Structure formats: structure tokens, C-alpha cells
């Protein structure tokens, strides 16, 4: 099973995980969550995240491209074939990753998760015109 790691500024990742657990059945302890802030020791956070990488594949979802969470994730997974980092994650992406992590290898899971996220973004006001 592919390991899922969420990393964000503030409590976003924790809140997403908590919300996902109310929508679909899974053990929230099976997903690791990390928070970064201006006060965090970034080398320590990176080391803690790196320890959670799985040889079976790891999907890391970070909040903002180019932000601290993204940069830490990209740095620790650079060159690894069994890891993927997706940025800008939303609830639909998280639920998709959770539901398919046991069936799909990391590259396919990352692609499916990214696709689910992009397909869940709409300008509803424009659609209703």
C-alpha cells in the first residue's frame, strides 16, 4: 500500500484529514500529517518526513507549490522513483488517494489523484449562467 503524507502551513492538513475521515472509512492514523511554520526547524521537519517514506511508495501532498512544505517534500524525494509530490491538494484529491492507495502503484496513484483534483475545480457561478 502506498503511504500518504500531508504537509501544510498551519492546520490545513490536519483539518483535511479529519474531514476526509468523516466522509470515507479509513484509519486516520494511516496517514501522516506534518505542519510547517515560520518557527519550525525545517531540517528537523524534513528528517521526520523522510523517516516516514515507504519502500512501497509514498505520495506526499503539500499545500502550495513553491512554499516551504513543497520545498521540503521535493528535497527529500528528489531522485526517488517510488515517491511523488503533489501540490495544491484539495479534499477530493485526498479522498481519491486514500481510496486507491492499496490498488495502484505510486505513479498511477499520483496521476489519478492529480486528475481527481483538477476535475473537482469549477467556477459554479459561470456554470449557472
pTM for this predicted structure: 0.93
Q: Are 76 and 5 in contact (CB under 8 A)?
A: no
For 19-75, the pLDDT digits (tens) are 999 999 998 889 999 999 877 788 899 999 999 999 999 999 999 999 999 999 999
**Res 42: pLDDT:** 83
**Res 2: pLDDT:** 97
Q: Return the CATH architecture of domain 3-127.
A: 3-Layer(aba) Sandwich (3.40)
For 85-126, the pLDDT digits (tens) are 999 999 999 999 999 999 999 999 999 999 999 999 999 999
* Domains of the chain by residue range: 3-127
Residue 8 burial (10 A CB sphere; 0-12, 13-18, 19+): buried
**Res 92: pLDDT:** 96
**Res 55: pLDDT:** 94
**Res 116: pLDDT:** 97
What is the Cα–Cα distance from 104 to 42, expressed in whole angstroms? 31
Amino acid at each position: 500500500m502506498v503511504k500518504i503524507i500531508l504537509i501544510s502551513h498551519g492546520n490545513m492538513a490536519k483539518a483535511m484529514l479529519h474531514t476526509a475521515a468523516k466522509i470515507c472509512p479509513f484509519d486516520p492514523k494511516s496517514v501522516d500529517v506534518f505542519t510547517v511554520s515560520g518557527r519550525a526547524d525545517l531540517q528537523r521537519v524534513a528528517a521526520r518526513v523522510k523517516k516516514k517514506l515507504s519502500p512501497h511508495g509514498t505520495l506526499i501532498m503539500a499545500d502550495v507549490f513553491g512554499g516551504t512544505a513543497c520545498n521540503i517534500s521535493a528535497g527529500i524525494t528528489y531522485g526517488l522513483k517510488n515517491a511523488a509530490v503533489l501540490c495544491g491538494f484539495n479534499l477530493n484529491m485526498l479522498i481519491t488517494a486514500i481510496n486507491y492507495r492499496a490498488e495502484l502503484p505510486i505513479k498511477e496513484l499520483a496521476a489519478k489523484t492529480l486528475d481527481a483534483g483538477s476535475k473537482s475545480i469549477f467556477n459554479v457561478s459561470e456554470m449557472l449562467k
